[in-house]
Amino acid sequence: MKSTSRKKKAVSAESIARMADRGKDVSRFFTNSGEMRKPIQRVNVDFTASMLEELEHAAKELNVSRQAVIKTLVRQGLDQRQIVRTSRRRTSRS
């Protein structure tokens, strides 16, 4: 007779939370292989028609979503800003 392995049924987050509330050890459900991510917060941004066209063009050119282009450009801008602020602090200390 063949022995078949049964897949373990996935445990819901709610079940794990209830177990933890009862003081049970729930560490076996966590591998520590993931990373904690901050929750995503949605925002609304208004763009002019010409900016939207540029974003659409860039998205098509890069074969990514418009949202991906916006996120990338914002990230680059924030990174540049941080570099400038850091260099200003260094020069003002000298």
C-alpha closest to that of 11 among 20, 68, 63:
20
The CA distance from 56 to 64, in Å, is 10
Which pLDDT band holds residue 78 (cuts at 50, 70, 90)?
very high
Residue 26 belongs to some domain of the structure: no
pTM check: above 0.85: no
Residue 40 belongs to some domain of the structure: no
From 6-15, 24-33, 36-45, 75-84, the region with the lowest mean pLDDT: 6-15
Residue 76 belongs to some domain of the structure: yes
Residue 7 belongs to some domain of the structure: no
pLDDT of residue 42: 92
Amino acid at 7: K
Give me the domain span that covers residue 80. 47-94
Phi, psi dihedrals of residue 17, rounded to the nearest 5°: -65, -40
